[in-house]
Amino acid sequence: MKGSATVRLRKGYRFKARLYHPVRPLGERWRRHEATGDMILMRYADDIVVGFEHEADARRFWDDMRKRFEEFSLSLNPDKTLLIEFGRFAAERRAHRGLGKPETFNFLGFTFICERNSRGQFLVKRTTRRDRMQVTLRRIKEELRRRMHEPIPEQGAWLKQVVRGFFAYHAVPTNGSALRAFYYYVKRIWLRTLRRRSQKDRFSWQRMHGLAADWLPQPRILHPYPDRRFAVMHPR
C-alpha cells in the first residue's frame, strides 16, 4: 500500500510523498469544492503531481493530505515531499524576492523546468532525467560487452531496438539536447566495444559514424506538444 507521490503546485509548489489511493477522493473533493483557484491533478501509477493557482490552496491541501494519510496509518515522507514555486510567473516573483531560478521537479522520467522560448514566451521544458539516462547507458554498456563477439549486424539490430524504444518515450518537445546526447553516448559505447574485440583493428570514428547511420535511429522529436495532442483527441 505504498508508493512514491509527487505533488506540484501550478504557480508554485510541489511535494513528494508516500501514498496509495487515499489521494484520489481527496483530489476530487478539492477540485470540486475546496480550491479557490485553478487546480490540476496528474497521477500515473503511484506518482502524482498536483498544481494550484494559489499558494494558500497548496498549503491547505498539503495539510489535508497529511490527515488523509493518517486515516490509513500512512505518513508523508519528508525526504520525498516538496513544495516548490513553479509556473509562468515563478521566475519573476522569485527575482523580486532576491531568489534564484525556480526549482525543478521530476515526474515520469523527466525533469520539468521553467523556461522561455526564443520569443520570450513561457514554456515548461521537459528533459530526460540525467540519472535515468545514465542507468540506461550503463545497461547498454554491460549488454554490449556480453555481445562483444557477435557479428556487427546483430549488435546493430539490437541497438536499433534499444534506441528506438528510448526515443519512443523520450522524444518530446524541448528534449532534443538529451536525445542527441543519448545518441552520441550510445555510439561511443559501441565504438569502445568494437575496439575491445581486437587490438589490431582500431575502429575509427569515421567508420563508427557510418555504422550509426546504418543502424541507429536519428535523434528527432516524435511527439507533439501536449496542447496539440489534446486538440486532436478532443476537437471542439
Cα(179)–Cα(171) distance, integer angstroms: 7
Give the whole-angstrom CA distance, residue 138 versus residue 86. 32
For 160, phi then psi, to 5°, come to -60, -45
In this prediction, residue 222 carries a pLDDT of 93
Q: Are 196 and 147 in contact (CB under 8 A)?
A: no
Residue 217's pLDDT is 97
In whole angstroms, how large is the CA radius of gyration of the chain? Answer: 22
Using one digit for the tens of pLDDT, what is the confidence trace for 28-63?
898 888 889 999 888 877 677 889 989 999 999 989
Q: What is the mean pLDDT of residues 1-13?
A: 42
Residue 42 confidence (pLDDT): 85
pTM: 0.80
- CB-based burial of residue 78 (10 Å sphere; 0-12 exposed, 13-18 middle, 19+ buried)? exposed
pLDDT single digits (tens) 80-126: 778 889 998 888 989 999 898 999 999 999 999 999 988 989 999 99
